[in-house]
Amino acid sequence: MQELSILILHGPNLNLLGKREPGVYGTVTLDEINQLLEREAEALQVKISPFQSNHEGALVDAIHAAMGQHQGLLINAGAYTHTSVAIRDAIAAVAIPTVEVHLSNIYKREEFRHHSYIAPVSIGQISGFGAQSYWLGLIALVNHLKKPV
């Protein structure tokens, strides 16, 4: 069996983690989240490829490029979660098992954040656990991918 490969996508403004609204998003930086995911990926014996962009088209392009390269997608689309039909359609088109994650609990925030275009094309969603949302999402995705068919 080939080693599983997971694409990790970080959406807009996540490059500012640690500085941006620490009361909402915490003080952990994006580099620290990626390091946490690298350690967990090693323990789970999977490969990860993290990518961050503030541009919707770049995220869509990364999702398209994942087809045939990655077996799973872990995504925090940030604000695009609530606005991007293009990202939703890209995930549906490539049909790669996807887990949506959020640092904050989007359901305890502004009303416009309560809707996700990504959730209906994902196998699951984890929110509200800070950086651990990514960790939990990676574990859940890998367990899903490794379960017997």
Given 10, 70, 80, 102, the catalytic residue: 102
Annotated binding residue at 113?
yes
Report yes or no: 114 and 107 within 8 Å, Cβ to Cβ. Answer: yes
**Rounded to whole angstroms, how far apart are CA atoms 138 and 34?**
11
Active site (annotated) includes residue 134: no
Q: Helices (DSSP H) in the chain: which residue ranges? A: 22-25, 30-44, 56-66, 85-94, 132-146
- Nearest-angstrom CA–CA distance, 60 and 123: 19
138 is in an annotated binding site: no
Consult the annotation and say whether 88 binds a ligand. Answer: no
How many residues are there in the chain?
Answer: 149
Active-site pick, 25, 80, 117, 134: 25
Is 10 among the residues known to form the active site?
no
- Binding residue per annotation — 20? no
Is position 49 annotated in a ligand binding site?
A: no
Q: Does the annotation list 103 as a binding residue?
A: yes
Binding-site residue numbers for substrate are 76, 82, 89, 103-104, 113
Q: Which residues are catalytic?
A: 25, 102
Binding-site residue numbers are 76, 82, 89, 103-104, 113
